[in-house]
Amino acid sequence: MPELVFFSGTMDCGKSTLALQIEHNRSARGLQGMIFTRDDRAGEGKLSSRLGLVTDAVEVADDQDLYAYLVEHLSQGGRADYVIADEAQFLAPRQIDQLARVVDDLGIDVFAFGITTDFRSKLFPGSQRLVELADRVEVLQVEALCWCGARATHNARTIGGEMVVEGAQVVVGDVNQSEDIGYEVLCRRHHRRRTTAATARAGALSPDVLPIASA
């Protein structure tokens, strides 16, 4: 049975690397995938990983119907043996519904990869819809670590190294040099205390920022 699978995790947990691995394994067996992405760090129409691998992808627009796109592609003689949707947290909920329809009506596996929660620890709408609709949710086992050594389960947005909890849900890092916006993964404790690596270094003697003994 074809499936909609949501591979979820924090930033830096290896999602895009796994997406590229799935792509590689299947194309090595002669299968041809349709790859969707949004706002990848390598730029429009790319799926890349921090390890330096990159492949071409279809850049999804806000109002794009992904089901209609697949139907059109297939009706023109194109192939799509499976679908990969990277940065799926940036997709609209209705686009996740369209991906579910690709599975159910076209009989194609869809592998979606996304960050579960935003910098305020709230679900991204696209990720919420995936949790609601996916046949399976896989929490990625490549675990990112907080600066304290604990498992990083939360994403923080930083400005000048300090964690912020207000602002637009989507601000892509690395492209906004004007405000020095960055992202950092933290354990829940340090996300709640808003203690980033930089502020931990600055206040190393404060009891609030003592490293958690690693388990």
**Residue list for the binding site for ATP:** 9-16, 86-89
Query: Exactly one of 190, 196, 199, 209 binds Zn ion (CB under 5 A); which one?
Result: 190
For residue 196, the minimal CB distance to Zn ion (Å) is 10
Q: Does 148 bind Zn ion (CB under 5 A)?
A: yes
Give 131-136's long-range contacts (Cβ < 8 A, gap of 24+).
131/6, 131/8, 133/4, 133/96, 133/97, 133/100, 134/4, 134/5, 134/6, 135/3, 135/4, 135/5, 135/103, 136/3, 136/4, 136/5, 136/6
For 86-149, list the strands marked E by DSSP. Answer: 109-115, 136-139
Segment near Zn ion (CB under 5 A); pick from 35-43, 86-94, 125-133, 182-190: 182-190
Catalytic residue (one of 87, 132, 143, 162): 87
For residue 132, the minimal CB distance to Zn ion (Å) is 30
When the beta carbons of 83 and 152 are compared against Zn ion, the nearer one is 152
Helix (H, G, I), strand (E, B) or coil at 197: helix
Q: Any catalytic annotation for residue 184?
A: no
Query: Exactly one of 20, 35, 146, 163 binds Zn ion (CB under 5 A); which one?
Result: 146
Q: Which residues bind to Zn ion, rule: CB under 5 A?
A: 146, 148, 150, 187, 190
